[in-house]
Amino acid sequence: MTVASVDPGAADVRAPIWAATAIIGGRPTHRVRFTADDSGRITAVERGVEPQTGDRRLRTVIPGMGNAHSHAFHRPLRGRTHADGGDFWQWREAMYAAAASLDPDHYGRVARAVFGEMLVCGWTAVGEFHYVHHQADGTPYPTAHAMELAVAEAAADVGIRLTLLDTAYLASGLGSAGGPAAPLLTEQLAFGDGDAAGWLARWHRLRDALSASVGATGLVTLGAALHSVRAVPVDAMRTILSGLPDDVPLHVHLSEQPQENVDTLAKTGRTPTGVLAALGALAPRISLVHATHLTDADVTAIGRSGATVVMCPTTEADLGDGIGPARRLADAGARIAVGSDQNAVVDPLLELRGLEAGERLASGRRGRFSPAELLEAGTDNGYRSLGLGPHTLDVGDPLDLVEVSTSSLRTTGMDPAQLALVATASDVERVVVGGRLVAEGGRLLATSRESTPEQLLAVALAELAASTETPRTATSSPTPDHPSQEMQP
């Protein structure tokens, strides 16, 4: 791609931004000038005006996109687990091996590279669904919150907004009816905190540690997650829900696999959605990840609550999860957002196109989501899911922008309003976060003008491979005695 050069130090400048065209509310608006305050929030939006001296001039821009579900540590598996057949269980064994290979130093380097890739591809905010908390045997690292701080500092370093969704992960499965939850497997010990009280205590300490470490950047928010109904017992969920502040964004994997529904019904007499509803957890602040296998009653309950459903089309396709009822959920009242999940694909525009493609394949009809609805899912809904508030390029919103080429092989001749169905991350030219230019032409400007995600990834993956055998796809499934343990990554 060819883009105009920027002056040295431009990443540190928060100048007014003038765009020849801005896609606002799904519609092209021409000659738009944005002004931001020192915190990077929009103070004025002028339409139909000419640029002024000192303005940063961009061509076609859309709001920055919010990645509402990511597991950065899955990135080492890309290109190594897709071609050998098998099922979710085989992929899961490789995922556990990837988790076991990481320490804070390696995790920080991998996360920095992954977040850098996200940024140059148009994600300006990410929700990291984080549960690799401790050493492999479950004991804490000598430095408190070492893994969490490594992830947070990586995001702040490259200049992406991060909502760290610190995750409670307490059991390997629901256990038998009338019995206790199944204890964590050996390969899951790094994820656990003993019980709900232990997780809550660590979460509150982490909030203070993040404030001291990266709070001044304004880029990092602490959220929370329940890994799944299968990995957090009902009583533990109740304790966590009562111990979290009401304004904290809360995420949970939900009904990704049919077996989760079978096990939850057998244990509780309810679907996973029904369990959350009975706990009072279904509310606008919660985001339900995947929500692939739902009953009609589940769809109605989720829609009525105003919750967000985070679809991850490229991952759901790669793992063979199925196609979730996105259109029905949206019609019922749910917000729809998207995420990169396992990061086998890091391209927000492909996630949006995948959302619509899945609906077309399931229904046999085109235009299930309009281009404006798709952009809303990728921008405003993603930001709201992450606790970052509205993101529609209005006054008070963060000045986060993505400049997209309209003259590439993919986009030449398109109607700009249909950009979400045509462009890919290859068309991203510049990225602005908080009014500052943080990426241009695939380069990261907030860290070093010589840094590219490719360079960061090459170094991180080489160091990881040198420290341990690179994870490979497992060749066997779990034993029949445990056909339904922990179906979700």
What residues act catalytically?
290, 341
How far apart are alpha carbons 405 and 418 in whole angstroms? 13
C-alpha to C-alpha distance for 183 and 194, rounded to whole angstroms: 10
251-272 as b/e, with b when 16 or more CB fall inside 10 Å?
bbbbbbbebbbebbeebbebbb
Which pair of structure tokens corresponds to residue 482?
């445990």
Q: How far apart are CA 220 and CA 210, in angstroms?
A: 8
The C-alpha atoms of residue 312 and residue 341 are separated, in whole angstroms, by 6
Rounded to an integer, what distance in angstroms lies between the CA atom of residue 125 and that of residue 374?
Answer: 17
Environment class of 468 (CB within 10 Å of its CB; exposed 0-12, middle 13-18, buried 19+)? middle
User: Beta-carbon neighbour count of residue 109 at 10 Å?
Assistant: 21
2 φ/ψ angles, rounded to the nearest 5 degrees: -120, 125
Rounded CA-CA distance 360/239 in Å is 41
Tokens of 385: 């899911």
Query: How far, in Å, CA of 346 to CA of 344, rounded?
Result: 7
Pairing of strands 286-290, 250-254: parallel
Tell me whether strands 335-338 and 308-311 are parallel, antiparallel or unpaired. Answer: parallel
DSSP, residue by residue, 379-403: THHHHHHTT----SS-TTSB--EEE
